[in-house]
Structure 1
């Protein structure tokens, strides 16, 4: 009897090993604003295709640099198309895989009940000591925040108040943990937030037009294209809209 049990367990183990050997996997480098939306999209994608997706979320600029240096990502979802275009020029991602998937929005994140609105006067008031934004040098949402402040005519005046997050999620955390009085963050990150959020007029900055593409070095081109198609398909688009993204061309 014991021999039969051991034999049965060995068969199960061999079966599991064979299944793992044939399991499809892929990796996605995604802008930090996509954390919630892409996590949900990834789960739905895996459920439908059986392809496991591992995400690395970060600032678009840093991820772009990693891909340029050969980081083994199978798809790149940038927070601004300019980074994809730059990689196309360098022949790092395939031009014919570029696709627009979303328009992002930014707004002011503040502690609950502290403000009824956010204006230039609010930001200049001495009671507001720290304003967090993502680093505009490598984060498109930070660049949009800088553009908004410049349009408002207060960029120079608030320099001493600014603290820079490495990416838009870290910027959100600065406000959440009380390390910033106000933060400029992505609408897509504040769903179900316990903090207050005031949307910034999108006329104050250039559109945050987000694009994705597939690196030329991937050996998972088929899987990456399937994920891209899923993001751009009905279910992917519906999830993006749920998290506050607008859809290009609509």
Structure 2
């Protein structure tokens, strides 16, 4: 969608007009990347003539909506599988897919000292509810289940699971104390490289498969220069710094 921005300048009594064509970019963003993408989009708008409209939610729901004609132009998924599937089905601009971030999983509680690096309370079952994202819907849920399996704690903890539709809902379960602890994205509890509330354990990456998050340019954006510029901007030093500050790794 094009917006016409007119600029009028008066120089030496002459009227000089110029126009700049700016795009509106509709972006579907995996919920774990909410805070980081808000910061990136705000900076991108300052640095360009384009406007970004962000929608946040589960990658699984966006995947279905895109296949049914939802008017998104960029998709930032929480995994690789869905962008690859869209690529194979012909929904994306060829060669536009890339990994914009690799997520980090953390075990977190709002209570100070409740979570430690030895995951003592998790191991001993000293909690009422354990929050995790639904593995059938969310990549961070898959990772959480892999961690519990690797620690031989899946069966013993499963009766106490409370599952979120996505990682945002999972975070809310813990943040509102409806769960004593939960598996969340590190980005949700980190600000400027520091975990600011409660207690946490940043889970070693060898305990779960890498959470590679891919971005794609959808075919609806073939003529949208703003969408192309936004994807390019994700590679910039500015965006990379923001991504890193929220606890992600980049390639």
Partner residue, 1:3: none
Q: CA deviation at 1:218?
A: 3.1
Partner of 1:74: 73
Residue 204 of structure 1 is aligned with which of 190, 201, 207? 207
The corresponding residue for 1:224 is 227
Residue 157 of structure 1 aligns to a residue in which SS? helix
- Counterparts in 2 of 1:121 and 1:221: CA distance versus 1, 3 Å: same
Within 1, Cα distance between the matches of 2:181 and 2:94? 39
* Secondary structure of residue in 1 paired with 2:128: coil
TM-score normalised by L of structure 2: 0.86
Q: Deviations over 1:149-183 (max 9, x none)?
A: 11111212211111111111111111110100111
User: Is the Cα contact below 8 Å between 2:93 and 2:222 reproduced in 1?
Assistant: no
SS at structure 2 position matched to 1:34: helix
Please state whether the residue corresponding to 2:250 is helix, strand or coil: coil
Q: How well do the aligned residues superpose, as a CA RMSD in angstroms?
A: 2.1
Quick check: 2:108–2:115 contact (8 Å CA) kept in 1? no
- C-alpha displacement of 1:102: 1.1
- 1:97 shift after superposition: 0.6
User: Which of structure 1's runs of 4+ aligned residues deviate more than 6 A?
Assistant: none
The residue that corresponds to 1:110 in the other structure is: 109
Distance 1:109 1:217, change over 3 A: same
Mapped to 1, the partners of 2:94 and 2:147 lie a distance apart of 31
The structure carrying a bigger helix percent of its residues is 1
Deviation at 1:128, TM superposition (A): 0.8
Runs of 5+ consecutive residues of structure 1 not aligned to the other structure:
1-14
Give me the whole-angstrom Cα distance separating, in 1, the residues matched to 2:63 and 2:184. Answer: 21
1:95 to partner: Cα distance: 3.2
The count of aligned residue pairs is 231
| Cα distance, 1:127 vs structure 2 | 2.9
Cα distance, 1:116 vs. partner? 4.9
**Structure 2 vs 1, CA of residues 110 and 120 (structure 1 numbering), >3 Å: closer, same or farther?**
closer
1:159-174 matches, within 5 Å, as 159-174=158-173
Structure having the higher strand fraction is 2
Q: Provide Cα deviations, 1:7-31, integer angstroms capped at 9, x if missing partner.
A: xxxxxxxx89xxxx96531110011
The reply to whether residue 241 of structure 1 matches residue 240 of structure 2 is no
Measured against aligned partners, the alpha-carbon deviations of 1:200-243 in whole angstroms (never above 9, x if no partner) come to 11100000111100111336532111000001121111110111
Q: Is the 8 A contact 1:113 1:196 kept in 2?
A: yes
More deviation in 43-52 or 105-114?
105-114
